Amino acid sequence: MGLLSQGSPLNWEETKKHADHIRKHGIIQFLNIYNKVKERQKDVLKWGDEVEYMLVELNDKDEKVQLCLNGGDVLEILQDQGEKINPNHPTLWRPEYGSYMIEGTPGQPYGGTMSEFNTVEGNMGKRRREASAVLNQNETLCTITSFPRLGCPGFTKPECSPTPVEKGVSKSLFFPDEAINRHPRFSTLTRNIRHRRGEKVVINVPIFKDERTPSPFVEEFPEDDGEAARAALPDHIYMDAMGFGMGNCCLQVTFQACSIAEARYLYDQLATFCPIVMALSAASPFYRGFVSDIDCRWGVISASVDDRTQEERGLKPLKNNKYRIFKSRYDSIDSYLSRCGEKYNDINLTIDEEIYKQLLSAGIDKLLAQHIAHLFIRDPLSVFEEKIHLDDENESDHFENLQSTNWQTMRFKPPPPNSDIGWRVEFRPMEVQLTDFENAAYVVFVVLLTRVILSYKLDFLIPLSKVDENMKVAQKRNAVQEGMFYFQKDIFKGCNPVPDGAASAQNSLETDCANEEYTLMSIDTIINGKEGVFQGLIPILNSYLETMEVDVDTRCTILNYLKLIKKRASGELMTMAKWMREFVAKHPQYKQDSVITDKINYDLFRKCDRIAKGKEQCPELIGNPVNKSK
């Protein structure tokens, strides 16, 4: 979740006073970096995955599963016995939002050779074993996107009560402050989001209406001071804290591009895949002990950190705020960055005009300038007293402050100052999968996709408004089977960047032939292809793999990964979300009332743990991958 500074965090009133200073110097820092490294070329491919884990205790006596709030201690042990004593240690561990979470990455990035695809799953296994080994008995490490009973009474160990009063961090009726990472950055972010917004965050997820689910489904909250009653919608699961979103686990991939131009091209192309891959990875159907009607976490996290005021959300006329802002800080991207993308930038982009002009006059082109000027409409959320006056030539904390709290589907990452790292892009929409096999499969699929896009110079761009529509569809229950997504029909045609000044003329043409370029497709069509409609990504990937020199062992591994993706797309295999739904539906204690009890949750985690540890097969979820016992 970004860098962690030590020191004294400022509250929202104080932070606000420094906002302009931080933005101003953030831009100077960005320009310094840009001017130093804009000409960087020929960087090699390096990439890495990030997996987020939750620590749980399976209490066999009470048949209950709880989140363990000892992530901080576990992290310290892992770092002490790993990276701190050996700079080449194969794993790296980082803190995450929940005090029951940790994040693991490979110790060194992967490179551009094919055989490295064969080491990803092994490294993930190493991470899982390494962390598991330092846990107490009955504790285990899970890669499950959303803990089904997050925010239910007694969901943590030790059990803690929420603090639904102003002095609390979240002021949540459900989510105790102890479940937030103890590093001050996280509680500061949480409280400052709430204070900036002027009220608690509001998350309403539609409930899945089963046979015996009350209708309308309306909850009462005894400790509520009135805020929850106003915010909660009928037939929805109501949540009121950042932890309900940022306390979920995700799977991310970051790539180093060979140049800034390649990074911008990949950023745009991959943006169109965010909804597709998210739907394929769907793994979070349950919230606060209820079965919901969505399969993906995205909207939940988006709402969980939505710091916009009522004015900014358009509920009140602008008076104290500068802008009407259309999306949360955590949401899909708002503009393409490559010249090919320019003509598809069709959504409302709120920018800081002054910063935009400043960037243009510093020689930044308008696409990049508007991207940065859009990120910088936000206020900084966490500022440390000791970190206000910085050396803009050699530090980038103020730039990173805003950059790292714009949590979009894609992230365009300039190199850190004075490093040998190149321009990077991060792919952020995926839900984490139950097993290392699946996580490796999704990660390798995305990396292969980038290689194919670059090799064949493919063009998947469609208007960004259509990508946003896809994002909405992608989160719905069973979107992978039922959803229809806007997708480019002819990806081989290559792009035609709009020459400067010709944008408006092009736009009128665009509306005429818009329907020709893209059409609605199922995920099966997109992934596996359909005669006369679309070639399918898997056949294109295979064609790439045939041309590359791939050793038999790696090829077998990739074959298994692509088989998983293929079958998830066709419906032959279930997504984690669907599998969890079926598990609950068939559970003897489930009463068709959308309620997930402690016992159901416990049995679910028992089974998940056995599958993740390879003690049990789960062919309906992952098929029968050839186990080469690496």
Partner 1 sequence: MDMQNSNSINTDAKMLLDHAKTLRFHTGNLVSRSRLKKKCPGSPTEELQDCIQATLSDWISTTKPSSEDFPDTLDCFVPQETDVITPEEREEVKVSAKLFLCESVQSSIRDAVEMACQTLAVSQLDSVIIAPPGPLENDSQTLAHLQPAWEELETLVKSQQIAAIGTSDLDKDLLEQLYNWAQVKPSSNQVNLASCCVMPPDLTAFAKEFDIQLLTHNDPKELMSAGTFQETMQDGLQDGLQDLNVADWRLEWVLRYNVIVKSRGIIKSKGYLVSARKASP
Range in contact with partner 1 (rule: CB under 8 A) among 5-13, 310-318, 500-508, 550-558: 550-558
Angle subtended at Cα 444 by Cα 438 and Cα 445, rounded to the nearest 5 degrees: 90
Q: Could you write out the DSSP letters of every residue in 242-259?
A: THHHHTS-BEEEEEE-SS
550 near partner 1 (CB under 8 A): yes
565 near partner 1 (CB under 8 A): no
41 near partner 1 (CB under 8 A): no
Which residues, in sequence order, are bridge partners of residue 249? none
Residues ≥6 apart with Cβ < 8 Å to 282: 295, 296, 431, 474, 475, 479, 480, 575, 576, 577, 578
- 323/456 with CB nearer partner 1: 456
Residues of span 507-536 touching partner 1 by CB under 8 A: 529, 535-536
Cα–Cα distance, 573 to 570 (Å, whole number): 8
Q: In one letter, which amino acid is 606? A: R
- 322/628 with CB nearer partner 1: 628
Cα–Cα distance, 530 to 508 (Å, whole number): 31
Three-class secondary structure of residue 385 per DSSP: helix
Reading the block at residue 517, the tokens are 């370029």
**Cα dihedral sign, 566-569-428-581:** negative
The strand pair at 46-59 and 139-142 is best described as: antiparallel
Measured from the CB of residue 111, what is the shortest distance to partner 1 in angstroms? 7
Range in contact with partner 1 (rule: CB under 8 A) among 108-116, 153-161, 175-183, 286-294: 108-116
Residue showing tokens 């701190």: 84
DSSP 327: S
497 near partner 1 (CB under 8 A): no
Residues ≥6 apart with Cβ < 8 Å to 263: 257, 412, 413, 422, 423, 424, 425
Residues ≥6 apart with Cβ < 8 Å to 61: none
Binding residue for partner 1, selected from 418, 506, 543, 592, defined by CB under 8 A: 543
Binding residue for partner 1, selected from 22, 27, 45, 101, defined by CB under 8 A: 45
Residues ≥6 apart with Cβ < 8 Å to 454: 262, 265, 266
540 near partner 1 (CB under 8 A): yes
The strand pair at 485-488 and 290-291 is best described as: unpaired
Range in contact with partner 1 (rule: CB under 8 A) among 1-9, 202-210, 541-549, 593-601: 541-549
Range in contact with partner 1 (rule: CB under 8 A) among 155-163, 210-218, 328-336, 553-561: 553-561
552 near partner 1 (CB under 8 A): yes
Measured from the CB of residue 570, what is the shortest distance to partner 1 in angstroms? 18
Cα–Cα distance, 312 to 325 (Å, whole number): 5
Cα–Cα distance, 64 to 148 (Å, whole number): 12
CB 495 within 8 Å of CB 459: yes
Measured from the CB of residue 558, what is the shortest distance to partner 1 in angstroms? 9
Measured from the CB of residue 45, what is the shortest distance to partner 1 in angstroms? 5
- 17/493 with CB nearer partner 1: 493
Binding residue for partner 1, selected from 41, 548, 589, 624, defined by CB under 8 A: 548
Range in contact with partner 1 (rule: CB under 8 A) among 38-46, 218-226, 388-396, 401-409: 38-46
Range in contact with partner 1 (rule: CB under 8 A) among 83-91, 94-102, 317-325, 490-498: 490-498
Buried (b) or exposed (e) across 587-597, using 16+ Cβ within 10 A?
A: beebeeebbbb
629 near partner 1 (CB under 8 A): no
Residues of span 234-263 touching partner 1 by CB under 8 A: 258
- 390/533 with CB nearer partner 1: 533
Range in contact with partner 1 (rule: CB under 8 A) among 39-47, 152-160, 343-351, 597-605: 39-47
- 26/106 with CB nearer partner 1: 106
Using alpha carbons, select from 283, 285, 187, 282 the residue that is nearest to residue 241. 187
Measured from the CB of residue 109, what is the shortest distance to partner 1 in angstroms? 12
Q: Could you write out the DSSP letters of every residue in 455-503?
A: HHT------HHHHHHHHHHHTBTTHHHH--EEEES-TTS---PPPTT-H
539 near partner 1 (CB under 8 A): yes
559 near partner 1 (CB under 8 A): yes
Binding residue for partner 1, selected from 354, 551, 572, 582, defined by CB under 8 A: 551
496 near partner 1 (CB under 8 A): no
Range in contact with partner 1 (rule: CB under 8 A) among 41-49, 126-134, 147-155, 223-231: 41-49
385 near partner 1 (CB under 8 A): no
- 161/496 with CB nearer partner 1: 496
Residues ≥6 apart with Cβ < 8 Å to 586: none
Reading the block at residue 99, the tokens are 């005090």
- 8/543 with CB nearer partner 1: 543
42 near partner 1 (CB under 8 A): yes
Residues of span 405-464 touching partner 1 by CB under 8 A: 451, 454-457
Cα–Cα distance, 445 to 485 (Å, whole number): 19
114 near partner 1 (CB under 8 A): yes
Measured from the CB of residue 470, what is the shortest distance to partner 1 in angstroms? 23
CB 604 within 8 Å of CB 286: no
Measured from the CB of residue 433, what is the shortest distance to partner 1 in angstroms? 21
- 172/535 with CB nearer partner 1: 535
Three-class secondary structure of residue 131 per DSSP: helix
Cα–Cα distance, 502 to 298 (Å, whole number): 36
Range in contact with partner 1 (rule: CB under 8 A) among 17-25, 186-194, 411-419, 552-560: 552-560
Contact set with partner 1 (CB under 8 A): 42, 44-45, 111-114, 258, 451, 454-457, 492-494, 529, 535-536, 539-540, 542-544, 546-553, 555-556, 559-560, 626, 628
